[in-house]
Amino acid sequence: MNSFLEVIITSFQKNLIAGDAYLIVLKGLRVTILISALGLLFGTILGGILCCFRMSKITGLKRISQLMIAVLRGSPVLLLLMILYYVAFAESRIDPVIIAVIAFALNSGAHIAEVMRSALEAVDKRQLEAARMLGFSKTKAFFAITLPQAGKIAKPVYQSTIINIIQWTSVVGYITITDLTRTVNNIGARTGDPFFPLFFGILLYLGLSYLVYALFSIGKKRGEAI
């Protein structure tokens, strides 16, 4: 029992303390968070735009967004990432992190567009009519009724979209980015003791997911569920 503890402690020191390895891990974590957060931000904006197009009455816009959503949702994010890196931006000397952000924005944008659309369509049209009967204009009714209700419907799915993005960013090592996954992998390779750093990496990803979960639970009150 004692020796097991000792093994852990030595392993911990060797992998995370020696040579200030934990600082490198933090750096990797920062990159992961940066790509996830920016990918999500632009993905949400793109999702909003795609959703608007998708639900618009103009057939051209509708078709274009339908196509984009279908293609982006249907293609693996890693391939998208590689196409952008090795083909689209092969000549330019653009920072790979930016390319990763673009890839994740595109991929999550398509998902988020569909999340938004199904949430908007799930809003009770009869409540909307009740609002119109009280004198709400279409715009006001959208902001007072549709948006808050759709927001509540979309929330859990949006939350899992975020967690998905965070986990999928672990593939950015393929385009030379040193993110959290790559960092812990490197450390393991260097010390020849991969188990501990990889396990620690998982803990950090878990921590991030939990953080997202905690952020979403803030302000959860009685009237939450529709």
Partner 1 sequence: MIKVSDLSKQFGELRVLKNINVQINKGECIAVIGPSGTGKSVFLRTIAMLEKPDRGTICINGTDITKKEINLNQIREKMGMVYQGFHLFSHLNVLENITLAPIWVKKQDRNVAKQKARELLSTVGLIDKAKSYPRELSGGQQQRIAIARCLAMEPEIMLFDEPTSALDPTMTCEVLGIIRKLTKMGLTMLIVTHEMNFAKDVADRVFYMDEGGIYEDGTPADIFDNPKKEKTKAFIRKLKIFNYEIQSTGFDMVSMNAQIEIFCQKYNVRAKQVYHIQLLLEELMMEIFKQCYEGAQPDMAFAIEYSDENNEISIYLTYRADDFNPFEYGGNDIDNLGMVLVSKISKKHEHLFENGRNKINIKL
> Is residue 132 a contact residue for partner 1 (CB under 8 A)?
yes
- The interface with partner 1 within residues 144-173 (CB under 8 A) comprises 144-145, 148-149, 152
> Is residue 13 a contact residue for partner 1 (CB under 8 A)?
no
Task: Choose which of 8, 17, 94, 134 interacts with partner 1 (CB under 8 A).
Answer: 134
Asked whether the beta carbons of 15 and 196 are under 8 A apart, the reply is yes
Rounded Cα–Cα distance for residues 199 and 206 (Å): 11
Asked whether the beta carbons of 22 and 16 are under 8 A apart, the reply is yes
Rounded Cα–Cα distance for residues 113 and 110 (Å): 5
Task: Choose which of 129, 156, 195, 199 interacts with partner 1 (CB under 8 A).
Answer: 129
Helices (H), the chain: 2-12, 21-55, 59-74, 77-82, 96-122, 125-133, 138-141, 147-168, 180-191, 195-217
**CB 74 → partner 1: shortest distance, Å?**
34
> Is residue 30 a contact residue for partner 1 (CB under 8 A)?
no
Task: Choose which of 20, 95, 121, 124 interacts with partner 1 (CB under 8 A).
Answer: 124
**CB 144 → partner 1: shortest distance, Å?**
5
> Is residue 119 a contact residue for partner 1 (CB under 8 A)?
no
93 vs 221, beta carbon nearer partner 1: 221
95 vs 129, beta carbon nearer partner 1: 129
Asked whether the beta carbons of 180 and 28 are under 8 A apart, the reply is yes
